[in-house]
Amino acid sequence: MTAPETLRFENHRLILIDQTKLPGELTELVCTSVAQTHDAIRRLVVRGAPAIGIAAAYGVCLAVPADETGTPGRSRYIDAIESLATSRPTAVNLFWALDRMRQIVDSTPEAELKDALVAEATRIHEEDRQMCHAIGRNGAPLLADVQTVLTHCNAGGLATSTWGTALAPIYHLHQTGDAPKVIADETRPLLQGGRLTAWELSQAGVDVTVITDSMSGSLMRLGKIQAVIVGADRITARGDVANKIGTYPVAVLAKHHGLPFYVAAPTNTFDLQLDCGDDIPIEQRGREEVAAPHGVRIVPDAADVLNPAFDVTPAELVTAIITERGVIKQPSRDAVAEHFANA
């Protein structure tokens, strides 16, 4: 049993699993415009850095309806790219995908733009499928002797086009019957671990247990976790990693308990223009996600709320970064540069 495809593009429509409804309800949202795509990304109907990039690429194609005749011109596509770039600020894959779409807009005759943009978005989608499987192959040996692995947030198929990033090595091992047990922390405030990771792993038949975010340190101390693997939304030139809020304290706990802390991400998640993680823009989300999750008010109106969507884990806490090209052990500026130079 496997989870359905996170997103697809059919008949000039972007069709998304509505991840805000999981696990209670499996429904799809159909986007037929740039505005609808922007809203779906902003509201986390689609989330996860690779999936955001793919959705945005298809969203550009929706700037012009399928049945419109004549030559649409470049300006509507450029406006779409600029609009979609404002949907979420941290995941670099969004900007990477939009840059590729902009290159098509700039270099293609106007009469051919509509088909060329759909073809490029489709290539981005297919490349992500291939990268996910390569990350699975490259990361599997690191988890081969691990009995139980902890993951934070959701970096599986729901965050990408297929196996995901952090979950890809687990899915790869699952094919041979050697997958480790997975502990998914709930991942406050939106519970992507409890709602999404647990849902898709159980759909695939992988042994998964959900814990509250505050339990991981105790389980590490008791020897019930042997490794941690997470995804990433942006990685700097020196290997600092931006990921879902709460990743940094998990990395600190892993370091304290002598456990490997792995990050899995495609090379398009690297922002080599940034050296230090402190320079990564961190998205600040709305009060209600913390104060009234799922419509249940748990914080008094008079109390302030902080809700950063991401935090930064310094490279020195990362044991290795797994990409579709291989493994960067003990990430550093030189190690990252070598990884890209050997491509």
325: left (phi over 0), alpha (psi -120 to 50) or beta: alpha
Q: What is the mean pLDDT of residues 7-26?
A: 96
Dist. CA 166–CA 158, nearest whole Å: 12
Q: What is the pLDDT of residue 164?
A: 95
Known binding-site residues for substrate equal 47-49, 88, 192, 243-244
For the segment 81-108, the average pLDDT, to the nearest whole number, is 95
**Tell me, what's the pLDDT at 73?**
76
- CATH class of the structural domain 141-342: alpha beta
Cα 327 to Cα 180: distance, rounded to the nearest angstrom: 20
Q: Which residues are annotated as a binding site?
A: 47-49, 88, 192, 243-244
Q: Are the C-beta atoms of 81 and 101 separated by less than 8 Å?
A: yes
Q: Are 170 and 179 in contact (CB under 8 A)?
A: yes
* Helix, strand, or coil (residue 29): strand
Task: Kindly state the tokens that stand for 101.
Answer: 């779409």
Task: Give mean pLDDT, residues 10-17.
Answer: 96
Residue 4 pLDDT = 72
With cut-offs at 50, 70 and 90, classify the pLDDT of residue 343: low
Active-site entry in 128, 185, 213, 233 = 233
Separation of alpha carbons 22 and 191, rounded Å: 10
Measured CA to CA, the distance from residue 48 to residue 41 in angstroms comes to 10
Note the pLDDT of residue 67: 76
Mean pLDDT of the chain: 95
Mean pLDDT, residues 145-153 taken together: 97
∠ CA 147-152-266, nearest 5°, is: 95
343's tokens = 């491509």
What's the CA gap between 223 and 158, in Å, rounded? 29
Give the C-alpha separation, 206 to 197, whole Å: 11
Enumerate the domain spans of the chain.
7-132, 141-342
Does the active-site annotation cover 213? no
| CATH H-level, domain 7-132: superfamily | translation initiation factor eif-2b, domain 1 (1.20.120.420)
Banded model confidence at residue 91, pLDDT cuts 50, 70, 90: confident
* Residue 1 binned pLDDT confidence (cut-offs 50, 70, 90): very low
Contact 94, 88 (CB under 8 A): yes
